Amino acid sequence: MTVITSSPTSPHQGQRPDRRDSTFRRYLLQYGLLIALLGVSAFFAAMSPTFLTTANFASILVNSFALPAIIAIAMTLAVGSGGIDLSVATAVDLASLAFVGTLAAGWPVPGAILAGLGAAALTGIFNGLLITGLNITPFLATLGTLFIGRSVQQVLANGGNPVYLSSSKLPAAVKFLAHGSFLGVPLPLYVVGFIALVAFILLELTIFGRGVRAIGARPQVAYFSGLRVRRDIVWIYLLSAAISGVAGILLSATVSAYIPYSGNAFLLNAIGAAFIGTTFGARGHANIIGTILGVLLLAIVANGLLLVGWNFYWQQVGTGAFIFLILAFSFASKRRQQRA
């Protein structure tokens, strides 16, 4: 890191910086997130003997990685299209409410899952229509949806009260969904893996994904190139909401309850991870691998700080400061690169 922070810019104009040095720096920048992840892991492994244990990693992955990762993937779709989706929180909550509500009413599990996904998808369609039909910017449209979603929850859940599923009513399939494992790997991780894979293929390997990236880079050019911008945007927000809905269903399966506004807790970290993820790779656009690394980094830092003996409150400060440092590092070197 010292290579970058020392000032390599030459004082004489016209004299080009050393080419090998700049290639090295470019790689360092592109894979900085991965390097940070490894560095942080090595640091915590040296500081705490429990860090590098299978049990600890399993706990990180299940407890503080799976759900944030799903929501961050949803956010990545919106960020990749040049927008942002603040209402992922609403989609999480509404999916959870619909899932728990229908289960409590005696629906079978597949029906309840469909109801949850459907409720989440509604927020996505609403966003898509606001953005494409009424030309509201994504930030404001999804902010509005977030507010409306709050009211909807209060009205439907009797003032925003939690809905608990009594353990007698809890179907075995729901317990399995949250706590089961297959081949030694917990089920939620399969869900994350599946969603990440689908989203990766969709964004990186399909025509749809290329279109979305074009829209994210230059919406006007995309429009004049004949892309069906509006249709793609509606799809993006629909997918973003549906993926968040999966997180909502997993969340309520884990705690066997609907807890109002619980989605809000994920929102800012998802935004952080998606944008931190844009620093990964050469092109600087939102990408699934970068996002996953970002979520993993946040989860590992939070876990590691706890293990080295920071209490929960200082851990919040540490995580915040750490995100800040990563952002500062990546934006400062990007700026330096642009100047060079």
Partner 1 sequence: MSVSYGTAAVEQHGSFASRTMPARPARRFLHRGLLRTGSLLVFIAVFTAFSLASPLFLTFANIVTVIGQSAVVGILAFGLTSVIIGGGADVVRGGIDLSLASNLGLGSAVYASLVQAGYGDAAAIAATLAVGLSVGTVNAISIVSIGILPLLATVAVMNICGGLELVLTQNTAISVSTPLLDLLSGTDRFGIPFLAYVIVAVAAILIVTLQYTAYGLRLYAVGEHREAARAAGLPVQAYVVSSYLISGLCGGIAAILYTALLSGSTTGSGEMLLPVVATALLGNVFSGRLLPTIGGTLLSTLLIGFLANGFQLLHVSSYWVSGIQGLLILSVVAATSLVRRRRS
CA 47 to chain CA centroid, Å, is: 28
Q: Which two tokens stand for residue 124?
A: 């996505």
Q: Is 283 helix (H, G, I), strand (E, B) or coil?
A: coil
Rounded to an integer, what distance in angstroms lies between the CA atom of residue 270 and that of residue 128? 20
Q: Where are the alpha helices (DSSP H) in 81-171?
A: 88-104, 109-133, 138-156
Residue 139 near partner 1 by CB under 8 A? yes
Q: Which of residues 208-227 bind partner 1 (CB under 8 A)?
A: 215, 219-220, 223-224
Which window, 51-59, 76-84, 106-114, 166-174, contacts partner 1 (CB under 8 A)?
76-84
Residue 68 near partner 1 by CB under 8 A? no
Which listed residue (143, 170, 189, 255) binds partner 1 by CB under 8 A? 143
Q: Which two tokens stand for residue 45?
A: 């492994």
Residue 319 near partner 1 by CB under 8 A? yes
Rounded to an integer, what distance in angstroms lies between the CA atom of residue 69 and that of residue 297? 11
Closest CB to partner 1 among residues 177, 215: 215
In whole angstroms, how close is the CB of 264 to partner 1 at the nearest point?
A: 9
In whole angstroms, how close is the CB of 323 to partner 1 at the nearest point?
A: 5
Which listed residue (98, 100, 103, 131) binds partner 1 by CB under 8 A? 131
261 backbone φψ class: left, alpha, beta (φ>0; ψ -120 to 50): left
Closest CB to partner 1 among residues 52, 155: 155
CA dihedral 190, 193, 198, 201 (to 10 degrees): -150
Q: Is 108 helix (H, G, I), strand (E, B) or coil?
A: coil
Residues that bind partner 1 (CB under 8 A): 82-84, 130-132, 134-141, 143-152, 154-155, 159-160, 215, 219-220, 223-224, 229-230, 233, 268, 271-272, 275, 312-321, 323-324, 327-328, 331-332, 334-335
